Chains A and B, each alone.
Chain A
């Protein structure tokens, strides 16, 4: 089979695959096409054709290995569990620090009002102290911005992992709930602080404890 004929047969098979499978073709289908072509070759196979076959075989093996390594990092778990959890926790940090700062500012403003009632000397001293509180409270803006940068980075990583998995034909359908939480025994009780919407309030915990009486 001459080079022109090989080229034509490859083009035909590629077009058939494109019609059947779309633009993304698994590495297995590529290997099948090449193997099929090599086995249907008639007459002597040239050194060039043999070399081409060998190179394609190595490429198939390399891509299969890369695909296995990527599958091992569990892109679905990264995107469906770890990144959303991290993002939610960081959002909770920002909210909690904002709430705490608000409370601190309320107290400082109350002190200033009290100082005004106590006279100029005391008012000035209190103003100096509350100024330090206002200055220190700057932190909440900075930490909020830093955390937002981290969250944006996480979303970027999530997107890249998804693209990589899709490019290699990885199944990126969402994990089921049971697959998301796979801890058992005592370890399942180590969860740390819950997000506000999921946490039991003190009243709810008191009511739960009372229900055992």
Chain B
């Protein structure tokens, strides 16, 4: 099934610059319906009001981290199937393992390039 480029994508990061960077890269990949949140709790609130086809989240945020957001999403019956990609500077094995065990679909370590973003998104959503 072809990937719907019009799907709503939620980017979650406390660095506004990173929100811009990921947003612009998504736009170049054809995803123009992009929403933003600056921490996990804001993202969760938005997810409970709007249906997103993909969440791309940082880890280190306050008051709610991306890891906590992931666990909340996977624990929520209505949200648990939402594709979730972690994009973070946290590169230790235990972080990746924890995220995987919490149900992350893919994991991108910062700094990253456009090709990596596309590859990891394709692995989760299908080729586009």
Residues of A within 8 A of B (CB): 98, 101-102, 105, 108-109, 112, 127, 130-131, 134-135, 137-142, 144-145
Tell me, rounded to whole Å, the shortest Cβ–Cβ distance linking A187 to chain B: 38
Smallest beta-carbon distance B20→chain A, Å: 5
A134 to B17, CA, bound (A): 10
Q: Which of B46-54, B67-75, B108-116 lines the interface with chain A?
A: B108-116
Residues facing A in B24-49 (CB within 8 A) are 24-25, 28
Ranked 4 nearest A-B pairs via Cβ: A138-B111, A131-B114, A135-B113, A134-B21
A130 and B17: CB pair below 8 A?
A: no
Contact A141 B114 (CB under 8 A): no
Report the interface size class on chain B.
Answer: 10 to 19
Q: How far is the CA of A196 from the CA of B113 in the complex (A)?
A: 33
Note all chain B residues with C-beta closer than 8 A to A108.
24
Q: Does B106 contact A (CB under 8 A)?
A: no
CA distance A131 to B114 in the complex (A): 7
Contact A134 B114, beta carbon cutoff 8 Å: yes
Q: Are B25 and A131 in contact (CB under 8 A)?
A: yes
CB distance from B23 to the nearest CB of A (A): 9
Contact, CB under 8 Å: A134 / B89: no
Shortest CB distance B30–A (Å): 11
Q: Taking CB as reference atom, which chain A residue is nearest B20?
A: A105
Of A112, A130, A145, which one neighbours B89 at CB under 8 angstroms?
A145
- 8 Å CB contact of B18 from A109, A112, A131, A141: A141
Bound-state Cα–Cα, A138 to B21, Å: 8
| Given A105-B20, A108-B24, A138-B111, 11 more pairs with CB closer than 8 A | A127-B28, A130-B24, A131-B114, A137-B17, A137-B21, A138-B18, A140-B15, A140-B17, A141-B13, A141-B18, A142-B111
